[in-house]
Amino acid sequence: MTSAAAYQYRKLKSNVMMGVTVAATVVTLVPLFLVLGYLLYKGASSLNLDFFIHLPKPVGQSGGGMGNAILGTMQIVGIACLLGVPIGVGAGLYLAEHRGTALANAVRFAADVMMGVPSIVVGIFAYAVIVRPMGGFSALAGAFALAVIMVPLVTRTTEEMILLVPHELREASLALGIPRWRTSVSVIVRSALAGIATGVILAIARVAGETAPLLFTAFGNRYWSTSLRQPAATLTVQVYTYAISPFHDWQRQAWAGALVLTGLVLALELGVRWVTGGAAKAAR
Amino acid sequence: MNKLDTGPTARGAQVRAERPQSHTQAEKPGVSEIAEAVEHEMPVAREMRERFHARPVADRTFVAVTMTLAVVILILVFGMALALISQSRASLAAFGWHFVVSTEWDPVNDQYGALPFIYGTFLSSALALIIAVPLSLGVALCLSEMAPVWLSRRLGFLVELLAAIPSVVYGLWAVFVLGPWLRDVVEPPLSRFFGFIPLFSGTGASVSMFTAGVILAIMIVPFISSVCTEVFRVVPQTQREAALALGATRWEMVRIAVLPYGLSGIVGAIILGLGRALGETIAVAMVIGNRPEISASLFKPSSTLASVIANEFTEATSDLYISALVELGLVLLVFGLILNVVARLLVMGATQRQRA
C-alpha cells in the first residue's frame, strides 16, 4: 500500500467512525420522539375536562377520570417538599460551611450513597417505619418515601450552589459586623437562592414521576382521599395499574394519565432550564 | 461538581488555619502587652474584643440546627439499612445464606430463594449495558468531539430529556409499542439465525427479558452518556493537539488521546449506569413477565429483584413472605451500594485530576 493510499484509508476510517458516533446519537434520540409522539397520539384523544375532575369509573363503564390521582400526586409531592426541602437545604448549608470536617465528609458520603439507593428500597423503608407502625397505607407514608428520595438531591445541589457564592461576600458581611447566622441566611443562601430553587424544582420533577416507592406506601384509592392517614391515589400508580390491566378503556386512560404526568414533569424541567438558562445543573 | 469548587474551599481552609494562630499570637508577650496597653487606655477595646470572640447564642443555635439536619441524613441511611435488616429477620433466620443460592420461590409452601431474581437482575442489566454502552460512548464522542458547540448543547439537552421521562411512561410505551415491535420484527430473525445459541432460542413474546433489557438500555443511555461527555470534556486540549500534530486523524486522536485519558471515568459511568439498571423497577416490572424462573433464553418471561418486590409486596400474605421480599430489597441495596461507591470514586478521580 502506498503512503497516499494508507492516508486515504486512515481518513476514510476516521470519517466512518465519526459517522458512527452521529448515528449513535440519532438512534438514542429516536425513542425520545417515539415516546413523546405516542403519548400525544394516544393520550390526547382521551383527554377532556372529565379526566381532570372525575373519579375513575368501575370496570365496564367508560368515562370517568383521574381527578383524585392528580390531586393525590400534588398532595403527596407537596408534603414530601415540606419534609424534604428544609432538611436538604439545611444539610447542604452545613456541608458547604463546614467543609473538611469529619462530620461533613461522612454526611456528604451518606448523601451520595442515598442517591444510589433504588427507589423501591426506599419504599420498603417507608413501609417499615411508617406503614407498619401506623397500621395501614397512607398518603403520609408515600410523602415520606418521596421526601427520602428528595433529601440527598436537594442537599448536594444546595452545597454546590452555596460554594459558587464568592467568599468575599461572606467576608464583607462579617466585616460589617453582621452575625454569622444572619450572614448565612441573608447573604449566602440569598445569593444562591436561584440555584437552590432550581435544584428543588428538579428534585420535585424527579419524585413526581416515581411509582415504585408509592406502591406499598400511598397504595392507591378509588375515591377522593379525605385524610393524610388514608391511602391515596397517585397519577403514577394509577397509570401503572391501568396499563397492566386487560381493559381497553383503562389502557386508553393510562395513555392520557401518562401524557398528563409527562407534561407535568417536562414542564417543570423545561421551565427551570428556561428561567435559569441552564446555569444551575442538579448534582448527580 | 464545578470548577469553582476548589477556590472557596482552599480559601476556607486557609482562613480556618489562620484563626487559631491569631489566638496563639495574642498569647505572645509582645502582642498581649500592646493589647493590654491599648485596653488600658481605651476600656472600650476590651469590650470590643470580648464581643468579637464570644459567639452569640444565635450563631451557636444556627450551627446546631444545620448540623442536626445534616445528621438526619446519616440517621436516614443507617435507619434504612437497619429497617431492612430488622424487617427481614424472619427470612434471614429461616433460610440463612441458602436464600441467595436457592432457586425455589414458592409462596404457597413458604419456600423462598433469591437466585432467579438475582439472575434476572444481572442478565437484564447486562443486556441493557451491552446495548447502552456503545450508544452512550457514541453520543458522548459526538457531543464532545464532533458537534459544534451550539448543536452539542441542543443535542445534550434532548438526551437529558430522555432521563426526565418517568419510568412508568417508558413502561407503558414498552408494553404497547416496543414489546410487540420487538416480538414481530426483531426477535424472529434473531431466533432464526442465532437460534442455536441458547440465549436466542425459542419464539418471541412481547413480555420477555429481551424487552426489559431494551427498555432499560433506553433509560440508562442518558446517564452514561452525560457522565462520559463530562469526562471527555475535561481531557486537556493539549492532548488532542499533540495527537493531531503527530498527524493523527480525528478518530485516531480520539483513540490515542481522548479514550485512554477518560478510561477510568468511562468505567465509572458504566458502573453508574449498571447501578441504575439494577434498581429500575416499574418499567421492568411491566414488561418482563414476572416469572421466577431461570431460563437461558432471552425471549422468555423472567423476573428481577426489584420487579418481584413491586409485584408481590402488597399481595404477600404470610409474615415470612413479606420478610423474604424485604430481604430481596436488602440484597438489592447491598448490590446498589457497592456499585455506587465504586462508580463515584472512579468518576471523581477522572474529573478532578485535571482541576488539581
Q: What number is the ipTM of this complex?
A: 0.92
Strand-pair category, B111-112 with B105-106: antiparallel
- Distance CA(B308)–CA(B106), nearest Å, equals 13
Q: Sign of torsion, CA A110 A113 A119 A124?
A: negative
- What gap in Å lies between CA A146 and CA A223, rounded to an integer? 22
Residue B234 neighbours by CB under 8 Å, 6+ apart: B262, B350, B351, B354, B355
Residue A43 near residue A253, CB atoms below 8 Å: no
| B232-238 long-range Cβ contacts below 8 angstroms, 24+ apart | B232/B140, B232/B141, B232/B144, B232/B145, B232/B258, B232/B262, B233/B144, B234/B262, B234/B350, B234/B351, B234/B354, B234/B355, B235/B261, B235/B262, B235/B354, B236/B261, B236/B354
Which residue from A minimizes the CA distance to B273?
A116
pLDDT above 70 covers a percentage of chain A that reads: 97
Q: How many Cβ atoms sit within 10 Å of the Cβ of residue B27?
A: 8
Of the candidates A33, A34, A38, which has an alpha carbon nearest to the alpha carbon of residue A243? A38
Cα–Cα distances in angstroms (integers) from residue B218 to residues A274, B7, B176, B292, in the given order? 25, 38, 16, 24
The domains of chain A are located at: 66-245
E strand or H helix at B202? none
HSE, side-chain direction, 13 A CA sphere, residue B93: 8
With a CB cutoff of 8 Å and minimum separation 6, the contacts of A205 are A265, A268, A269, A272, B164
For an interface test with A, give the residue of B282, B315, B317, B345 to mutate (most A CBs within 10 A): B282
Q: Which residues from A are below 8 Å from B80, CB to CB?
A: 114, 117, 121-122, 125, 148
The low-confidence residues of chain A, meaning pLDDT below 50, are 279-284
DSSP secondary structure, B153-175, as one string: HHHHHHHHHHHHS-HHHHHHHII
Q: Do A117 and B336 touch (CB under 8 A)?
A: yes
Q: Which three cell numbers stand for residue A76?
A: 403527596
From B70, B175, B344, residue closest to A91, measured CB to CB: B70
Query: Are B251 and A254 a contacting pair at CB < 8 A?
Result: no
Helix axis angle, B319-352 relative to B115-141, nearest 10°? 30
B334 CB neighbours in chain A (<8 A) are none
Indicate the residue of B70, B175, B309 with minimum beta-carbon distance to A95. B70
Listed residue (A261, A88, A259, A178) closest to B69, CA to CA: A88
Task: Give chain A's count of helices (H) and strands (E).
Answer: 12, 0
Q: Which residues of A touch B288 (CB under 8 A)?
A: none
The per-residue pLDDT for B176 is: 94
Least CB–CB distance from A164: residue in B4, B171, B252:
B4
CB B113 within 8 A of CB B102: yes
Residue B282: C-alpha distances to residues A213, A236, B152, B168 (Å): 10, 10, 31, 6
pLDDT tens by residue, A41-93: 999 888 888 888 888 887 777 777 888 999 999 999 999 999 999 999 999 99
* Averaged pLDDT, groups of 10, chain B, 356 residues long: 41 44 52 76 74 75 93 96 94 90 89 93 96 96 90 90 94 95 90 85 84 96 94 92 93 93 90 92 93 87 94 89 94 89 78 55
Which of B9, B73, B87 is the closest to A151 by Cβ?
B73
User: Rounded to an integer, what distance in angstroms lies between the CA atom of residue B285 and that of residue A197?
Assistant: 33
Chain A residues with CB under 8 Å of B9 CB are 99-100, 163
Closest CA relative to residue B274, chosen from B213, B200, B348: B213
What lies within 8 Å, CB to CB, of A57 at 6+ separation is A63, A64
Q: Residues for chain B: how many in total?
A: 356
- Return the CATH class of domain B98-352: mainly alpha
Pick the CATH number of A66-245 from 1.10.3720.10, 3.30.1370.110, 3.30.300.30, 1.10.10.10: 1.10.3720.10
Rounded to two decimals, the pTM is 0.87
CA distance B253 to A155: 39
Residue closest to B169 by CA, chosen among A77, A37, A202, A68: A37
Q: Between chains, do A120 and B306 touch, taking CB under 8 Å as contact?
A: yes
Determine the distance from the C-alpha atom of residue A259 to the mean position of all C-alpha atoms in its chain, rounded to a whole number: 16
A208 and B11 within 8 Å at the Cβ level: the answer is no
Q: Give A164-182 as a 3 state SS string.
A: CCCHHHHHHHHHCCCCHHH
Q: Do B168 and A243 touch (CB under 8 A)?
A: yes
Angle in degrees, 0-180, between the axes of helices A119-126 and B305-312, rounded to the nearest 10: 40
For residue A23, give every residue at least 6 positions away whose Cβ sits within 8 Å of its Cβ, in sequence order, or none. B138
- Provide the phi-psi class of B226: left if phi over 0, else alpha when psi is between -120 and 50, else beta: alpha
Rounded Cα distance, B32 and B37, in Å = 8
Radius of gyration of chain A (CA): 24
Identify the pLDDT of residue A30. 96
Residues of B in contact with A107 (CB under 8 A): 70-71, 73-74
Q: What's the grid cell of residue A253?
A: 386512560
**DSSP E strands, A118-223:** none
Binary contact (B72, A29; C-beta < 8 A): no
Which among B62, B71, B84 has the least Cβ separation from residue A124?
B84
DSSP conformational letter for B290: -
How many C-beta neighbours within 10 Å does residue A175 have? 9
| B159, HSE (Cβ side, Cα atoms, 13 Å) | 30
The ranges of chain B annotated as CATH 1.10.3720.10 are 98-352
